[in-house]
Structure 1
């Protein structure tokens, strides 16, 4: 039976992405939205950077439902669905939690970050 994992990706700016891999493939880094991540980096920063992948949970016996539940639990625990902390767009982050829309990362203007976030939300039918 294949080992299934839930992992955390950490980008150079400290933002994270939590994902699952049902085959435990070493070079699988998930399905994070590239435009959302790129909005946090300048062209110069994109030329040379390192990301870190950590296995947070693993199982040889879990079914897909359990893996999905663990993934959502860890997304919420690490708040990687909070746009200031991570790039997960699911599970939805509660807007009752204060978020400063004026904060920036990597010295990028907030407009570019907000535009990328809106694009991701529209692509994934979050407004339905």
Structure 2
């Protein structure tokens, strides 16, 4: 089963990712450690709870289809907006920004 998931951190920021190998139980994506450590201090990391939700799943989608759908969901959920999420791609563009 291939899935696209959303991780919600204690500060409310999110990360949207995909899992092509059905390791839903153990895989929690690869957001930037730099950004995470910037948002949480040592004390906050002593008791740290995250939530993982499956947004979409398929037994038949190709890897390419999953990645395209993942990009759509990243943008739809605002996960690439540094104010709300930890995804760095696709690059966030302000409304009206060109390029």
Q: Give 5+ residue unaligned stretches, structure 1.
A: 98-128
Determine which structure has more spread, i.e. the larger CA radius of gyration. 1
- What is the root-mean-square deviation of aligned Cα atoms in Å? 1.0
Alignment of structure 1 residues 41-52 onto 2, 5 Å = 41-52=40-51
Q: How far did residue 78 of structure 1 move?
A: 0.3
When the two structures are superposed, what TM-score results if normalisation uses the length of structure 2? 0.92
Counterparts of 1:38 and 1:70, CA distance in 2 = 28
Corresponding pairs, count: 95
More strand by share: 2
When the two structures are superposed, what TM-score results if normalisation uses the length of structure 1? 0.72
Alignment of structure 1 residues 31-110 onto 2, 5 Å = 31-96=30-95
Runs of 4+ in 1 over 2 A off after TM superposition: none
Tell me the alpha carbon deviations over residues 44-88 of structure 1, each in whole angstroms, 9 at most, x when there is no partner: 101111001100000000001110111000000001000010000
Counterparts of 1:36 and 1:13, CA distance in 2 = 12
Q: How far did residue 94 of structure 1 move?
A: 0.3
